[in-house]
Structure 1
Amino acid sequence: MSDVTAGQNYDLRDEIKAYWSERAATFDLSPGHEIFSEEERAAWHRLFLRHLGRGDGRAALDLASGTGVISHLLDDLGFKVTGLDWAEPMLERARQKARERKRSISFRVGDAESTMEPDDHYDVIVNRHLVWTLVHPAAAFAEWLRVLKPGGRLLIVDGDFVNTSALERVFSKFSAWGQRAGIFKPDAPMHSREMMETHRSILSRVYFSNGARAEAVVELLQAAGFTDVVVDTELGEIHRTQAKHWNLFKGMARKSQHRYAIRASKRVI
């Protein structure tokens, strides 16, 4: 294959895959990605119990599972978990983590927009910070509906990372100033300018380039055939536990963001 042909075939989805493959090495260093306290772990457990109930051996699919953070939370609650991610470096870390913790979680390569999983197979599907990256969310939601069992539940945890409030911008500026001045410790990890530019470029071209607002996600879910769609913005307990690992203004900026969990169901025929 010529370099020209290869370049033509390298699309936005390939860029997203390459970006997260590169991020894998430092992904677990960031609060908001990995779990840094038992207090935070318990807060996530309560969110999942509120919307999904206890696992009791039910089959759960963690889409864009990354290093397995959400998969482990589901495993804690008794779900039989499969994690799918298309970035092999993420999966390598997820498998290593599962071995170290002696967890029987299955991690394998898969595309969240085309899972190749059987029809009516999973009791629950969960994903965190995936929806904002989707290129074709309508097709992805139809795919998730297909692999859910009748009566099964989907839980999306995401947010609008484009539209910032005046309050958030003020808090972020104070946080950045304090880090530059050496008053606050730097956010971990520090990414290169090139990586930040790649992130901005990707964000400008995904479907939710204007921000993944909860109401827009709900509309697409309902159009795909999901029912009983509920938006939960009561994530303050999780945010408070994460904020303990940031400076005051970084934590306040996070609290000001439009973040949510959306639960939806597959109709029982």
Structure 2
Amino acid sequence: MSDVAERRNYDLRDEIKAYWSERAATFDLSPGHEIFSEEERSAWHRLFLRHLGRGDGRTALDLASGTGVISHLLDDLGFKVTGLDWAEPMLERARGKAKDRKRTIAFQMGDAENTMEPDDHYDIIVNRHLVWTLVDPAAAFAEWLRVLKPGGLVLIVDGDFVNTNALERFFGKLSAWGQRAGILRPDTPMHSREMMETHRSILSRVYFANGARAEAVVDLLRNAGFTDIEVDTDLGEIHRMQARNWNFFKGLARKSQHRYAIRASKPLPAA
């Protein structure tokens, strides 16, 4: 890679880190980030049990752990959890939340694309809404393969937030119209117009600028060496629970998006 490309990637990565550091203050206000009901919590548990099974003390790495939402779900299921994030304000909130709930989750500073974790160390890697932000997903997936134990599993929960379909656009317009008219529940205010512009700018420059389609993520996982790859688009139960915190049309728009969970395995050594 040229020096120019390295500087461009470094600058983008720094911008991503600064953006999520600023977002930390309002991150837990948003449905789809924090969990606002036991019904949604249970729906997440069922998704994880379906793909990962019970923890039984197995080690789990929650990458881009943010305020610890996914880490707590894994802890609920009996995993020994480490949360890794590179935004200190996110880590501060995650540690405070764990202390308040009397959890023993370890939260530490780290980069999801270069974790600095030991080889063959974790049974499970989980992340939510991380992959679409990666500057170099091929390198990241190779890194995740390295730190997983042979036979270990990665579970990616993500989506295509660029390519909207006709239904999503239609429901989004109805939601916006109803909010302007004052007859539908307004969205939770999360950040300023400037922050929204920063988000759009970052999205236009990451690897998946054209949308993180499941099939593209699968190809990169396979190229990195993962096997037994499964794509699960049956996230409707989670989306229904989240929709209770939005107006009707906003919930339908979310349901119409291309969202998925992808599970993949690190191969066992040849006999």
Asked whether the two chains share a fold, i.e. TM above 0.5, the reply is yes
**Alignment pair present for 1:26 and 2:45:** no
Determine the C-alpha separation between the residues in 1 that align with 2:8 and 2:145: 32
1:116 aligns to what SS in structure 2? Answer: coil
Q: Deviations over 1:60-112 (max 9, x none)?
A: 00000000000000000000000000000000000000000000000000000
Determine the C-alpha separation between the residues in 2 that align with 1:9 and 1:152: 30
2:56 aligns to what SS in structure 1? Answer: coil
Determine the C-alpha separation between the residues in 2 that align with 1:158 and 1:83: 18
Say how many residue pairs are matched.
263
RMSD of aligned Cα (Å): 1.1
Q: TM-score, with normalisation over the residues of structure 1? A: 0.96
- Map residues 211-230 of structure 1 onto 2, 5 A cutoff: 211-230=211-230
2:200 aligns to what SS in structure 1? Answer: helix
Give the aligned partner of residue 80 of structure 1.
Answer: 80
Q: Deviations over 1:36-67 (max 9, x none)?
A: 00000000000000000000000000000000
Give the aligned partner of residue 145 of structure 2.
Answer: 145
Q: TM-score, with normalisation over the residues of structure 2? A: 0.95
Give the aligned partner of residue 3 of structure 2.
Answer: none
Task: Pick which of 176-185 and 52-61 moved more.
Answer: 176-185
Determine the C-alpha separation between the residues in 1 that align with 2:10 and 2:147: 28
- Map residues 257-268 of structure 1 onto 2, 5 A cutoff: 257-268=257-268
1:46 aligns to what SS in structure 2? Answer: helix
Give the aligned partner of residue 171 of structure 1.
Answer: 171
User: Using a 3 Å threshold, how does the CA distance of structure 1 residues 182 and 76 change in structure 2: closer, same or farther?
Assistant: same
Give the aligned partner of residue 57 of structure 1.
Answer: 57
Determine the C-alpha separation between the residues in 1 that align with 2:8 and 2:33: 33
Is the 2:125–2:154 contact (alpha carbons within 8 Å) kept by the matching residues of 1? yes
> 5+ unaligned residues in a row in structure 2: which ranges?
1-6
Give the aligned partner of residue 205 of structure 1.
Answer: 205
Q: CA deviation at 1:153?
A: 0.3
Determine the C-alpha separation between the residues in 2 that align with 1:38 and 1:9: 40
Determine the C-alpha separation between the residues in 2 that align with 1:223 and 1:69: 30
Q: What one-letter code is carried by the residue in structure 2 that aligns with 1:228?
A: D
Give the aligned partner of residue 101 of structure 2.
Answer: 101
Q: CA deviation at 1:188?
A: 1.0
Determine the C-alpha separation between the residues in 2 that align with 1:176 and 1:187: 9
Determine the C-alpha separation between the residues in 2 that align with 1:47 and 1:233: 11
Give the aligned partner of residue 3 of structure 1.
Answer: none
User: Using a 3 Å threshold, how does the CA distance of structure 1 residues 221 and 8 change in structure 2: closer, same or farther?
Assistant: closer
Q: What one-letter code is carried by the residue in structure 1 that aligns with 2:136?
A: H
Q: CA deviation at 1:191?
A: 2.1
Task: Pick which of 23-32 and 182-191 moved more.
Answer: 182-191
Q: What one-letter code is carried by the residue in structure 2 that aligns with 1:179?
A: Q
Q: CA deviation at 1:181?
A: 1.4
Q: What one-letter code is carried by the residue in structure 1 that aligns with 2:180?
A: R
Q: Deviations over 1:162-186 (max 9, x none)?
A: 0000110010011111111111222
Q: What one-letter code is carried by the residue in structure 2 that aligns with 1:249?
A: F
Determine the C-alpha separation between the residues in 2 that align with 1:60 and 1:175: 38
State the identity as a percent: 86
